[in-house]
Structure 1
Amino acid sequence: MPEFTDPLTPRELGFSFPAEWFPHRATWLTFPHNDSSWQGDRLARMRPQYLAFIKAISQGENVGIIANDENLKKEISKELDKTGVDLSRIEFIVKPTNDAWCRDHGPAFLINKKTSEKMIVNWGHNAWGGKYPPYDDDNRTPEAVAEYLDIPVVNPGIIMEGGAVEFNGAGSLLTSKSCLLNPNRNPHLNQSQIEEKLSHFYGIEQVLWVEGGIVGDDTDGHIDDTTRFINEDTVIACVENDRNDENYGILQTNLEMLKKMRLVNGKQLNIVEIPMPKAVVIDDFRTPGSYANFLICNAGVIVPVFNNPNDQTAIDILEKAFPDRKIIPLAATEIIWGQGSFHCLSQQEPLI
């Protein structure tokens, strides 16, 4: 694995994190194998939904799977074959893993469009403020992927999670105060210092802040459950229409902040509101069910649905918002018990 030794930062060298709709070479996943997130029989119950997710991605790009050991790799291959997945689309890295949330511990890919180079940012991972140890094996995932792909890796030296940030591909990054300014991540850094790190290591020009996240989200408010860029100047923004719901106030606050934002080019955001699902409660637990936790991939937009009264409304809104992409609703009723969904489970690798 080449080591990034240039004294200039990725941004200074012309690298940036592309928007999710930029063409993918692959999407990376860390295959779930223990009950840290899905306890008891829930791991087995969520697996068919997870395999359906892999199959959907593989219709348009490769899927890189990080498997805990050789036995799991063989088991995955057999199950994917039975599911009808083209195994030529599947790539494996065999290494120890802790949990499944590849968006947060996996590789963050930067590209240089002028030189057609690619590199990985190895942000530190501490399991959302040290909530779920151990996490050391997951923390080594970006370097393992960089070695597999034989591309350089750069280490900013701070804690960062992919689910905490959204990109428009034109210089803007969107995030939440409740997460990135939480002292359980980088207590030695203030807001401007965090913005400087984001700028230099994601290759962006501005950081836009909303306030917080939704109920049931144990990440302290990841942006990918509330607000998502779908083109350079448009966001999907979650709203709660029930004033008595716990999410109503924070999502209204976020919405008002979004309305006041200006992009690098001075434009206001085009805001497409999408409802939250009716509270997704499983075994008396309010999960962070959200239609915003979709994955934009080559095959289309994979959207979590919950056998919920608002599912079809959300699908209709997303079909209008993505006129040139297929909307692929997939059941996430078992996956969401782990407190995340399709976007949280995945990290895209751009094609360049």
Structure 2
Amino acid sequence: MKKILYLMVVFPLMVFAQKNQSQLSKTNGILYTMPEESEPHEGTWLQWPHEYQYGETYSNRLDETWIAMTEALVRSEKVHIIAYDEDEKEKIEEMLHEANVSLANVDFYIFPTDDFWVRDNGPIYVRDRAGKLLIEDWGFNGWGKKAAFTNCNAIPSKISSAQGKTRVDLNSVMINEGGAVEIDGNGTLLTTKSAVLNSNRNPGMSQAQAEAIFRKYLGVTHFIWLNGKAGLEITDMHIDGFARFGNSSTLVTMSEDDLADWQVPDDDIDKLYQAKNKSGKPYRIVKLPLTKNAVTTAYGKELGYKGSYVNYYIANKVVLVPNYHDVNDAVANAIIQKLYPTKEVVGIDVRNLYANGGMIHCVTQQQPKQ
């Protein structure tokens, strides 16, 4: 009798467990998949610059760039603006009104922030196996504790609560900035070891461990690892400054000379040009120039280095491209326009933003449509 009861109770559980394990193995351990940037957006997130961290002059020099981004984006998607407090919200509304930017597609969230690099600290939207949109909250520690980060690290949690979306808390799993990883939408991830496997982010983490995490939470199964260069600038060489996936078959980067000027290691340049997708097929390489001249800000500061156009942002009907009042602006805009013929390329003046180390992609974050 006991044997019969055992078979009636335990055997079905064993079958269920085996079936469940079999289904899990078929997914290669993947729980969530990150939509590629060019997929249709519900909206774009912006963290508006404020005076509370670095002063009023700092934020005032950046407002025009945020106004220009908002003006271009509201034509075809929502713009979710994070304002530090109610006073900042009123200030932003007034600036947008004076610039004749419609607020019909704009909404505001009042959350204190340390800075405006929402690509790195903001929510990463992913889909579960049923297609439901969730928010992943990866750890953010100010690019290895080089800058204040406590307020910014809390942003994904606050957005998930405000939107009523399920939050996947990865703060104790991995420090991972959005600008550190590029996905092609077809199972491949491109990144630098200097920005991920750095002891200032993830001490002791191996490449295999990082890959298992990315596989599970971003849905990628093929990896292109560049070495990068730690300590060169605050991000320890984020990939989105010099190499992006234009689409599932195209890699957007620079010429060999320009990559060397960007201080990309020689071995990494070779790896980029030889990169293949998960099926073993080489990517089509599209090369954007650097600016012809070293960048000078709108307030006259000579930065002493050239600007990258690779750090662009793909929205629903526009592509926002960093521009520098340089002769190569038109060259880069035309190349990108050819790559996205159904969208309008909009050049955004990033000279003052660039003085702080980033460009358009660094300060935007997409929210895909459900």
Matched, 1:271 2:260: no
- State the distance in 2 between where 1:252 and 1:319 align: 29
What pairs up with 1:98-247 in 2 under 5 angstroms? 98-112=114-128, 115-133=130-148, 135-156=149-170, 157=172, 158-212=174-228, 217-239=233-255, 241=257, 246-247=261-262
Structure 2, gaps ≥5 residues long: 1-23
Matched, 1:333 2:348: no
Of 286, 294, 309, the residue aligned with 1:291 is 309
Displacement of 1:87: 1.0
Are 1:11 and 1:202, in contact at CA under 8 Å, matched by a contact in 2? no
1:91-133: per-residue Cα shift (whole Å, max 9, x none)?
A: 1111111110000000000024x63411111001101110012
Range that drifts further, 301-310 or 27-36: 27-36
Greater per-residue helix proportion:
2
Change in Cα spacing, 1:252 to 1:300, as seen in structure 2 (3 Å) is farther
Range that drifts further, 166-175 or 254-263: 254-263
Displacement of 1:88: 1.8
Q: Equivalent residue for 1:324?
A: 342
SS in 1 for 2:355: helix
- State the distance in 2 between where 1:223 and 1:350 align: 22
Change in Cα spacing, 1:253 to 1:231, as seen in structure 2 (3 Å) is same
Are 1:295 and 1:302, in contact at CA under 8 Å, matched by a contact in 2? yes
- Matched letter for residue 200 of structure 1: K
Q: How many matched pairs?
A: 341
Query: What RMSD in Å do the two structures reach over aligned CA positions?
Result: 2.5
TM-score normalised to the size of structure 2? 0.85
Of 310, 324, 331, the residue aligned with 1:306 is 324
SS in 2 for 1:267: coil
- State the distance in 1 between where 2:281 and 2:81 align: 39
Displacement of 1:34: 2.5
- State the distance in 1 between where 2:223 and 2:239 align: 13
- Matched letter for residue 296 of structure 1: I
Are 1:288 and 1:336, in contact at CA under 8 Å, matched by a contact in 2? no
- Matched letter for residue 358 of structure 2: G
Change in Cα spacing, 1:51 to 1:251, as seen in structure 2 (3 Å) is farther
- Matched letter for residue 356 of structure 2: G
Matched, 1:250 2:264: yes
Displacement of 1:63: 0.6
Displacement of 1:195: 1.4
Of 13, 20, 35, the residue aligned with 1:18 is 35
SS in 2 for 1:52: helix
Displacement of 1:175: 0.7
- % identical equivalent positions: 32
TM-score normalised to the size of structure 1? 0.89
- State the distance in 1 between where 2:225 and 2:320 align: 26
Range that drifts further, 58-67 or 211-220: 211-220
- State the distance in 1 between where 2:258 and 2:132 align: 48
Displacement of 1:241: 3.6
SS in 1 for 2:264: helix
SS in 1 for 2:354: helix
Q: Equivalent residue for 1:28?
A: 45
1:165-196: per-residue Cα shift (whole Å, max 9, x none)?
A: 11111111111122112211101211111111
